Chains A and B, each alone.
Chain A
């Protein structure tokens, strides 16, 4: 089993994985007893889920209140190193010398720069769904306000948002929705326009692959991205000021490039090239720009003013436009062939309607849809007959049909589809729209011939199409020749595909006429000629065209730089290739006329934030420290430790099973036996919590720490860093300079107490030089702020008005000490338990808080520094009770190198555990094995037939008197006392001797039910007796935990004791002996000078002698006499108070 076996050498450090209650406790116990601790936490801050919860636990404190000072202690402890966002990847090596590989996950925020100001979270538009019981956080967030470390981090699942990946143009859809959902219209527009220059257009006609991919679609309908896009574009356009940023030209370069085709691909390419600095000439065969957008899409789908506006906003000045100019030979434009341009982008589109190949196709009255639309969208509507038959099942066909419906003289429009009803491969909504407008739709018809009369169309014959695709999904229509129909028509419009008319281009082509271009760069076979858009892809979407245009500009730029002759390169000057030009951010808030309505915002908020952070960029702009760094990547490090403690909050905690698997433990029951902290791996211990039961977790944490301490006993202290404080300033001659810190305690003190009012009132008090309100005085940031103010104002007294001082007094004392002041110059006021929590809602609560703080300030004025008294620690323990608990505790401590006096009232060891029951297993934990080991251990002194008669002294220095039956009395010295008796009647007597109270159930009461479950209220006294009968494993756990707690005292050579002792002024003392007779501790005595004097180590500081001395010659060192009078005076001064 390897427990207690000392290895030569070994590393005096321990890795603790997990920072819930168990992990924190283990870390603190180890650090306080001489070991270095590496505390690795997978989350962004230490504390685990328990610390995040606002729930009220037993004792009335919320989890936050209980754990926060513990977390602060971890952060401040010089022996604890904290790694957050850290995953333990591998543990190798052997007990005493493990090598651990740790992955540090990126938080996308530079910890060295982030100062926790929170500006980023304030502007972040993405709120992530919260786990039950927790607060919802933004995508950039701090887990809670006083998280340690107090740095923000971004939740980001790169690539997880399917919408963004589905958009060919790469629009940041999540970012757009997030900004719109936050009401930030201009920011949304700007982000959108960065990737899609025609938002109003695409909002109307885009096929919306993002919506098809949207995860919400499977639940209750995809987020209406397209409609929102259109809304935003229209809203921005409707603003009175010109918010549409006019693209600016870039200065400097002289190289000329040509773009052929003024459709979307060509426009985007032309713009990007111009912004990069090229002189661009845009050729367009038609009179106006727009390509398919103008000449294909009818105006009732895309209003011309929208298109014109967007094209106008797109093109920078200085771009040469050659409309109504057809280029037949693109190669001729190249400078190498005598032309004027360094490179050419060919985006002429697909304007050749595909022929059906049926007889009569060329007759009068038969149109290709592209031609029909081009004509109708250019000028007056094309003349078509009263009966129109559109053959096809594409958007083009629908556009043609709906255009025909609006043409003068048309009475009937029929659409003949190949597919059956419900299978037509066009957006069902659009089809329904067309049908709703009056288009008659016929299904399952394959055209066979166009029937003419005198050269004009009169009808078209069809046969039934029974299937379109074969079983492999290949296009292979099957017809039933027997089922024929004839549909009459005066005009036939064919819409069965578009090809590219590029016969004269002398470029390689694919079937259908599409140009062949490199899929990555867009380069054609002719150097310098690039192609993209429909001309390469065939009929494609607007988004694809945009992507193609952008890609072409980048490729051409890269190509031109590489190939440009040196002369031109020099003249080019600064190249713009590289990061794209930032689009100027439109100002926020929106000017008049521009509103994102609740409907739009609500729709945008439906976005599930699949990738968490939407990369909208607002935080980067808002961060004044420049701390956002989305380029952070995971890194790895390796550390060496002597043992490892895994401390998941519960077996179901996220990440635990993976970690367990990586290390080699069973995630459901890592302990061997199941409830133990030992695992099957020597040197690895498991302190698995039980969710919200923090007390159980804390006990386990201590128990695991004890095991590590036993294992590494020989190297205790080898890596520990001693505390070092600055020199203590002597303030005895200084007048009191008090700093008052009033804690809001989140929502616990304020708003019941008006903290601002308290601060105002207290500022005027005598001696107060600084008053400040703190969000959480016990948090790391609160403590830092106190230190800062102490330095700034040269304060020499501290008043903290917060919650009960019991738990946090030590923290505030540390602040004083670290600031070079005596740690006892502290006065506290409890304005939470004694005020806010009991008078909430009562106006008088604030007045009372003012009084309590004023009294504390009065007390502070009279405080005196106390010189610390170092008490040498007796490095041995007194364990009362020789059952399995006592024996376990004794063995643990002895195994760590401390002496143990094990006291048992009966004549034999074993207690109630003598007959091990069936529930335990594991050699070494059974009572029999324990007895042998205890008896044999050289450092354990057995006292059988012995009972504790009296115990005096304090932590580190107890004097214990035992009665040995039949023999006499024994006096021992011990540094700690551990009570390990069973539940029984003798507890009352024992409690009285220890001066502790028993609980209502007759069992010992812990110093704190959750945080210190094995500590008694007196320092240096611990207990492992569990009140209800418990399993032997439970007893062993508690015994180990008590041993670990005891080790934090025994491992120290000395303790600094409080020094709250009484002191006699010999001038006034008349040696009446009253104090000597009164003191229950026997501290005062009449000394050689014939005056009374107080033995400091015995004095408990109760003040009884002070109150009894008839000459008022005794004071408690800590306060000048007259302190209470001063406090009363403060409270009851005429004209104030109450």
Chain B
């Protein structure tokens, strides 16, 4: 049934891709550079996959590690953290904090066998809308290759919502 099976020891999971599965990506975006770039991407009608959801936060430095872990525990396939470039953080150095924390969470994800590749941080400035769209596309494809999060609960299609 599944078109693609691959084994990856470092990830420790067998990837099984159910038909119709689209990668579910959660993007934590800082409300300065990242949100502005996301807005600009919309304004010029760039396209990126609709499996992405944006959660806005004042600064990536305010993202708690538990939130990232919780997202994965609840089944998100991939998490992208989008922050300001080095030296450009509106809150001076929040992005640096985020980078360090993400390193740790990635290490945890690797160690437990989920795969640290599911978590990425990218940095861009508010005028870099094409880069924003590119990153959303890239992570979607990266996750597509990695397969769905094995911790994803079974979900019914069109349950209660659309």
Are B162 and A761 interface neighbours, CB within 8 A?
yes
**Which residues of chain A from 570 to 627 have any CB-CB distance to chain B below 8 Å in the complex?**
none
**Which residues of chain A from 1100 to 1134 have any CB-CB distance to chain B below 8 Å in the complex?**
1100-1104, 1106-1108, 1116, 1124-1125, 1127-1129, 1131-1132, 1134
B44 to chain A: which residues have CB within 8 Å?
Answer: 60
Mask for B82-101, Cβ within 8 A of A = 1, else 0? Answer: 00000110111110010001
The answer to the question of B3 belonging to the interface, with a C-beta cut-off of 8 Å to chain A, is no
Are A1132 and B74 interface neighbours, CB within 8 A?
yes
The answer to the question of A804 belonging to the interface, with a C-beta cut-off of 8 Å to chain B, is yes
CB-contact partner of B47 in A839, A852, A1131, under 8 A: A839
Binds B, one of A205-213, A463-471, A842-850: A842-850
The answer to the question of B81 belonging to the interface, with a C-beta cut-off of 8 Å to chain A, is no
The answer to the question of A1136 belonging to the interface, with a C-beta cut-off of 8 Å to chain B, is yes
B57 to chain A: which residues have CB within 8 Å?
Answer: 1103, 1124
A844 to chain B: which residues have CB within 8 Å?
Answer: 22, 50-51
CA of A833 to CA of B24 in the docked complex: distance in angstroms?
19
The answer to the question of A890 belonging to the interface, with a C-beta cut-off of 8 Å to chain B, is no
The answer to the question of B150 belonging to the interface, with a C-beta cut-off of 8 Å to chain A, is no
- A1083 to chain B minimum Cβ distance, whole angstroms, is 11
A1127 to chain B: which residues have CB within 8 Å?
Answer: 55
User: Which residue on B lies nearest to A748, using beta carbons?
Assistant: B42
Are A834 and B54 interface neighbours, CB within 8 A?
yes
- B121 to chain A minimum Cβ distance, whole angstroms, is 14
Are B67 and A838 interface neighbours, CB within 8 A?
no
The answer to the question of A559 belonging to the interface, with a C-beta cut-off of 8 Å to chain B, is no
Binds A, one of B11-19, B32-40, B110-118: B32-40
Are A837 and B43 interface neighbours, CB within 8 A?
yes
Are B54 and A852 interface neighbours, CB within 8 A?
yes
Q: Contact residue range for chain A?
A: 35 or more
* Contact A850-B53, Cβ < 8 Å, known A997-B125, A1107-B61, A1128-B67: no
Mask for B69-80, Cβ within 8 A of A = 1, else 0? Answer: 011001110000
- B39 to chain A minimum Cβ distance, whole angstroms, is 4
CB-contact partner of B88 in A848, A851, A997, A1100, under 8 A: A997
Are A1135 and B160 interface neighbours, CB within 8 A?
yes
Are B70 and A1136 interface neighbours, CB within 8 A?
no
B97 to chain A: which residues have CB within 8 Å?
Answer: 1078, 1104, 1107-1108
- B25 to chain A minimum Cβ distance, whole angstroms, is 9
User: Which residue on B lies nearest to A843, using beta carbons?
Assistant: B50
The answer to the question of A830 belonging to the interface, with a C-beta cut-off of 8 Å to chain B, is yes
- B160 to chain A minimum Cβ distance, whole angstroms, is 5
**Which residues of chain A from 832 to 877 have any CB-CB distance to chain B below 8 Å in the complex?**
832-840, 842, 844-848, 850-852, 854-855
- B156 to chain A minimum Cβ distance, whole angstroms, is 6
Are B126 and A830 interface neighbours, CB within 8 A?
no
A848 to chain B: which residues have CB within 8 Å?
Answer: 50-53
CB-contact partner of A832 in B42, B58, B154, B159, under 8 A: B42
Are A1000 and B43 interface neighbours, CB within 8 A?
no
Are A850 and B153 interface neighbours, CB within 8 A?
no
The answer to the question of A550 belonging to the interface, with a C-beta cut-off of 8 Å to chain B, is no
* Contact A851-B58, Cβ < 8 Å, known A838-B41, A1124-B67, A1128-B74: no
* Contact A1137-B161, Cβ < 8 Å, known A1103-B59, A1104-B61: yes
Are B159 and A852 interface neighbours, CB within 8 A?
no
CA of A1078 to CA of B50 in the docked complex: distance in angstroms?
37
CA of A294 to CA of B103 in the docked complex: distance in angstroms?
103
User: Which residue on A lies nearest to B154, using beta carbons?
Assistant: A1134
B155 to chain A: which residues have CB within 8 Å?
Answer: 1134-1138
A1078 to chain B: which residues have CB within 8 Å?
Answer: 97
* Contact A833-B94, Cβ < 8 Å, known A997-B88, A1102-B62, A1127-B55: no
CA of A844 to CA of B24 in the docked complex: distance in angstroms?
12
CB-contact partner of A1101 in B45, B47, B51, B58, under 8 A: B58
CA of A999 to CA of B128 in the docked complex: distance in angstroms?
11
Are A997 and B53 interface neighbours, CB within 8 A?
no
Q: B-side binding surface: helix, strand, loop or mixed?
A: loop
Are A833 and B41 interface neighbours, CB within 8 A?
yes
CB-contact partner of A847 in B61, B71, B133, B161, under 8 A: B161
CA of A842 to CA of B153 in the docked complex: distance in angstroms?
25
Are B59 and A1104 interface neighbours, CB within 8 A?
yes
User: Which residue on A lies nearest to B91, using beta carbons?
Assistant: A1102
* Contact A992-B43, Cβ < 8 Å, known A847-B161, A850-B162: no
CA of A60 to CA of B42 in the docked complex: distance in angstroms?
8
Are B24 and A1102 interface neighbours, CB within 8 A?
no
- A842 to chain B minimum Cβ distance, whole angstroms, is 5
CA of A764 to CA of B41 in the docked complex: distance in angstroms?
31
Are A757 and B162 interface neighbours, CB within 8 A?
yes
CA of A845 to CA of B70 in the docked complex: distance in angstroms?
25
Are A60 and B40 interface neighbours, CB within 8 A?
yes
A59 to chain B: which residues have CB within 8 Å?
Answer: 40, 43
CB-contact partner of A833 in B26, B38, B70, B162, under 8 A: B38
- B154 to chain A minimum Cβ distance, whole angstroms, is 8
Are A1102 and B41 interface neighbours, CB within 8 A?
no
- B62 to chain A minimum Cβ distance, whole angstroms, is 2
CA of A806 to CA of B38 in the docked complex: distance in angstroms?
12
- A181 to chain B minimum Cβ distance, whole angstroms, is 38
User: Which residue on B lies nearest to A1124, using beta carbons?
Assistant: B67
CB-contact partner of B53 in A836, A838, A1108, A1138, under 8 A: A1138
- A1005 to chain B minimum Cβ distance, whole angstroms, is 8
Mask for A1089-1106, Cβ within 8 A of B = 1, else 0? Answer: 000000000001111101
CA of A992 to CA of B125 in the docked complex: distance in angstroms?
14
B134 to chain A: which residues have CB within 8 Å?
Answer: none
Are B45 and A1124 interface neighbours, CB within 8 A?
no
A1132 to chain B: which residues have CB within 8 Å?
Answer: 71, 74-76
User: Which residue on A lies nearest to B155, using beta carbons?
Assistant: A1135
The answer to the question of B46 belonging to the interface, with a C-beta cut-off of 8 Å to chain A, is yes
B126 to chain A: which residues have CB within 8 Å?
Answer: 997
Mask for A806-835, Cβ within 8 A of B = 1, else 0? Answer: 100000000000000000000000101111
The answer to the question of A271 belonging to the interface, with a C-beta cut-off of 8 Å to chain B, is no
CB-contact partner of A992 in B22, B59, B76, B87, under 8 A: B87
User: Which residue on B lies nearest to A1134, using beta carbons?
Assistant: B153
CA of A1138 to CA of B74 in the docked complex: distance in angstroms?
12
B39 to chain A: which residues have CB within 8 Å?
Answer: 60, 804, 806, 830, 833-834
CA of A1081 to CA of B92 in the docked complex: distance in angstroms?
9
- A70 to chain B minimum Cβ distance, whole angstroms, is 18
CA of A840 to CA of B88 in the docked complex: distance in angstroms?
32
Are B92 and A1107 interface neighbours, CB within 8 A?
no
Are A1131 and B53 interface neighbours, CB within 8 A?
yes
**Which residues of chain A from 1019 to 1053 have any CB-CB distance to chain B below 8 Å in the complex?**
none
A804 to chain B: which residues have CB within 8 Å?
Answer: 35, 39, 42
**Which residues of chain A from 965 to 1007 have any CB-CB distance to chain B below 8 Å in the complex?**
992, 995, 997, 999-1000
CB-contact partner of B70 in A754, A838, A851, A1125, under 8 A: A1125
User: Which residue on A lies nearest to B44, using beta carbons?
Assistant: A60
Are A837 and B42 interface neighbours, CB within 8 A?
yes
- B135 to chain A minimum Cβ distance, whole angstroms, is 13
* Contact A851-B47, Cβ < 8 Å, known A1101-B58, A1128-B67: no
The 7 closest A-B pairs by CB, nearest first: A60-B43, A1103-B62, A833-B42, A1102-B91, A844-B50, A1080-B92, A837-B42
In the complex, given contacts A848-B52, A1104-B91, A1107-B97, what are 12 additional A-B residue pairs having Cβ atoms less than 8 angstroms apart? Answer: A830-B38, A830-B54, A833-B39, A833-B43, A838-B48, A842-B50, A1102-B59, A1107-B64, A1127-B55, A1128-B70, A1134-B153, A1136-B161
**Sample of 24 A–B contacts (CB below 8 Å):** A60-B44, A830-B56, A834-B38, A834-B39, A837-B43, A838-B46, A847-B50, A847-B161, A848-B52, A852-B53, A997-B126, A999-B127, A1000-B127, A1080-B91, A1102-B58, A1102-B91, A1104-B91, A1106-B62, A1107-B61, A1116-B62, A1124-B64, A1125-B67, A1137-B155, A1138-B155
Q: Write the residues of chain A forming the contact surface with B, with a CB cutoff of 8 angstroms.
A: 56, 59-61, 754, 757, 761, 764, 804, 806, 830, 832-840, 842, 844-848, 850-852, 854-855, 992, 995, 997, 999-1000, 1060, 1078, 1080-1081, 1100-1104, 1106-1108, 1116, 1124-1125, 1127-1129, 1131-1132, 1134-1138
